[in-house]
Structure 1
Amino acid sequence: MSAFEVKYARFQIGQVVRHRLLPFRGIIFDVDLEFANTEEWYMSIPEASRPKREQPFYHVLAENEETDYVAYVSEQNLEEDESDEPLRHPQLGDYFDIDSQGEYRFKAAPLN
C-alpha cells in the first residue's frame, strides 16, 4: 500500500452482520483495515478458503443457535444482517447500549 492509498471498511462498528458461508450472525465491535491476527490463526484456515490478508477483518460478537463467541472475520465473508432479530450475546452490554429505536450504540471508552 502506498502512502497515499486510503483503505475503507465496508461495515462499521455496531453493525449487525452475518457470515456468508457459516451459520452465525453478530455485531461488529472492532475493525482491522488489514489482517492483524496471528500467523498460526491464518494458517489454520484451509488454503482453498483462506481469505486475502489485504482486506478489512472484523471482530464480531458472534452467535448461532448453539453458542456465543468472538469471531475474527474477513470482509469478503460478511454481509449485512437484515433480520431485525435482537442479539443475545452475553458480552453485548460490555460494548453497546441500545437506543429507543433498537439501534446498537458503541459505548465510549472512558478517558484516563
Structure 2
Amino acid sequence: MVDSHYYYNSISRHVAKFQIGQVVRHKLFPFRGVIFDVDPQFANTEEWYESIPEEVRPSKDQPFYHLFAENDRTHYIAYVSEQNLIPDDSEVPLSHPDISEWFTMTGQGTYELKKQATN
C-alpha cells in the first residue's frame, strides 16, 4: 500500500529545526536528551507509530529525532517528532551512559559529535 504522505525516492523537503548534539526537552512528557541522529521524516515501524495514542500521535511528515534520553528514573533511547521537542537551556549536564561514546563536552557546555561517531 502506498503512503500518500511519503515521498518515495525523493529528497525530503524538510529542514530540521534541531541539530545533532543539541539538548532538547519533550513538550508533553518529563524527559530530556541529546540528539544523536535525525530522520527528515518518520522512519520507524508502523507498529511503533500505531502504539501512540491517537490524540497525541504526531504527523509523520516532519523530522524525527533519535535521542539519548533520560528522566528521573532511567536512561533510554527515544524517537521523537519535531513538534514535540523544545530546546533545553537548563545547562544541567546529561548523564546518559552512551553520550561519552558519541560526544565530547565542549568548554561552553554543549555536546560535539566525535569524529569516529560520524558515518
TM-based fold match above 0.5: yes
Aligned counterpart for 1:63 among listed residues 70, 74, 98: 70
Question: In the TM superposition, what are the counterparts of 1:15-94 in structure 2 within 5 Å?
Answer: 15-94=22-101
Give the superposition deviation at 1:110.
6.7
User: RMSD in angstroms over aligned alpha carbons?
Assistant: 1.9
Task: Count residues with an aligned counterpart.
Answer: 111
Q: Give ranges in structure 2 of 5+ residues lacking alignment.
A: 1-6
Length-normalised TM-score, structure 1: 0.91
**% of aligned pairs identical?**
57
Q: Which deviations, in whole Å up to 9, do the C-alpha atoms of 1:66-92 show, x marking residues without a partner? A: 000000000000000010000100000
CA spacing shift, 1:102–1:39, aligned 2, 3 Å: same
Task: Give the SS at the match of 1:109.
Answer: helix
Write the distance in 2 (CA, Å) between the matches of 1:49 and 1:110: 33
Write the distance in 2 (CA, Å) between the matches of 1:103 and 1:4: 30
AA matched with 1:61? F
Aligned counterpart for 1:102 among listed residues 97, 101, 109: 109
Length-normalised TM-score, structure 2: 0.86
Q: Give ranges in structure 1 of 5+ residues lacking alignment.
A: none
Q: Which deviations, in whole Å up to 9, do the C-alpha atoms of 1:24-60 show, x marking residues without a partner? A: 0000000001000001000100111110000000000
